[in-house]
Amino acid sequence: MPRSNLCKPCTDPRETEVKALIAAGLARQNMDRQHLSQKTRIAKSTLNERLRKPREMRLGELWDILDVLKTDAADKVKIV
C-alpha cells in the first residue's frame, strides 16, 4: 500500500523560525528561560507555553522577548 502524508503534522516554517530565533538569542546572551521571564516580566509558565506554541504569542510579548535578546533587524524581518 502506498504511503501518504496525511498522518504527518503540518508545521508552519514561521513557527520554527521564531523558535530558532529565540533559542539562538538565549544561547547568544547566555540566558535561560527563568532569566528571560524575569526580564520580560512574563510568568515562566506563560513564557514556556508561548515558546511551545509561538502562534499563540502576543505581539507585545514577542517584542519584549526580542528586545531583551537584542536580535538583529534582519532576523526580525525573517519572522514577519
Number of separate domains in the chain: 1
CB-based contact 71:21 (threshold 8 Å): yes
Which phi and psi (to 5°) does residue 45 adopt? -65, -40
- Per-residue pLDDT of 24-75, as tens digits, reads 999 999 999 999 999 999 999 999 999 999 999 999 999 999 999 999 888 8
User: 9-13, 19-23, 32-36, 75-79: which has the minimum mean pLDDT?
Assistant: 9-13
pLDDT reported for residue 63: 93
Q: Tell me, what CATH number does 53's domain have?
A: 1.10.260
User: Domain range holding 52?
Assistant: 13-75
Does residue 45 fall inside a structural domain?
yes
Does residue 1 fall inside a structural domain?
no
Does residue 57 fall inside a structural domain?
yes
Angle between helices 59-69 and 33-40 (to 10 degrees): 110
Q: How far apart are CA 4 and CA 1, in angstroms?
A: 9
CB-based contact 23:51 (threshold 8 Å): no
